[in-house]
Amino acid sequence: MRTPLIAGNWKMHKTVAETTAYLEAIINEDLPDTVDVVCCPNFVSLPAAAMVVTGSQIGLGAQNVHWETNGAFTAEVAAPMLTETGVKWVIVGHSERRTLFAESDETALDRARAGQEGGLEVIYCIGETLAERDAGETFAVLERQTAALGALDPDHLVLAYEPVWAIGTGRTATPAQAQEAHAFLRVRVASIFSGAAAEGLRILYGGSLKPANAHELLPLTDIDGGLIGGASLDVRSFSAIIRAAADCAAGDDS
């Protein structure tokens, strides 16, 4: 059975002081130990965050990583810099990186490979836009975005399905739509790696998962947790999602 993973992507939010206060509060929430929890602050907050979460159940993640270990790459951060800070996880290929900063399938893969080679657990984001969804291209997009995953180690890989049309738009994929995409990805992973790898690999839902819909989405067969954006910025909201994941894993999806 796959352990649920709830990862918070804080994006460009929270100062160092706010990050510290938040993490101290979430640690005091006495969260269930049946769920893996990761928080991904901005780069400048990572050292302070590491000091707070060390020894706790909260994993620390970064929001990006460069494909080289050093060099003339202004504003980029390399895997050894992250691991030295205490980071264990990294997000790559997020839809905002793709749409706003020209991230491609190729560069996302390069970042993921560098992250794994540097000792990081990689959360690899994929998903279709509204235009692609409406054109019936969802599966074709997911197939293209996962075409080169065979270059990665499935034991240190998590997929995050982001229906881009359901992020910050007020729209959310129905449980049926979410499960359909996740089931497709599970089969896709089996074809790239193996059936055993597909059974063990976690696939997160990243389309505006929040306390109000957590008990509808998290019990679904091929959804193994969530990559949470806005709802991860509030301690009570994030805690509620984590507890929902624990309830669903225990078979209580009421």
- Which entry of 66, 94, 128, 182 is annotated as an active-site residue? 94
Rounded distance between C-alpha atoms, residue 175 and residue 195, angstroms: 24
For the chain, the average pLDDT equals 95
Quick check: helix, strand or coil at residue 136?
A: coil
Residue 156 annotated to the active site: no
Residue 162 annotated to the active site: yes
Assign 73 a pLDDT band (cuts: 50, 70, 90). Answer: very high
Q: CA dihedral in degrees (208, 210, 215, 216; nearest 10)?
A: -30
The closest alpha carbon to 246, from 221, 214, 222, belongs to 214
Tokens coding 104: 């491609």
Assign 170 a pLDDT band (cuts: 50, 70, 90). Answer: low
Rounded distance between C-alpha atoms, residue 53 and residue 8, angstroms: 14
- Which entry of 96, 128, 162, 182 is annotated as an active-site residue? 162
Classified by CATH at the fold level, domain 5-249 comes out as: TIM Barrel (3.20.20)
| pLDDT score for 173 | 83
| pLDDT score for 252 | 56
- Phi, psi of 95, rounded to the nearest 5 degrees: -55, -35
Q: Tell me the Cα Rg of the chain.
A: 17
| pLDDT score for 254 | 41
pLDDT in tens, 12-68: 999 999 999 999 999 999 899 999 999 999 999 999 999 999 999 999 999 999 999
The closest alpha carbon to 150, from 194, 199, 203, 91, belongs to 194
C-alpha count within 13 angstroms, C-beta hemisphere, residue 138:
19
C-alpha count within 13 angstroms, C-beta hemisphere, residue 63:
20
Assign 238 a pLDDT band (cuts: 50, 70, 90). Answer: very high
Single pTM value for the model = 0.96
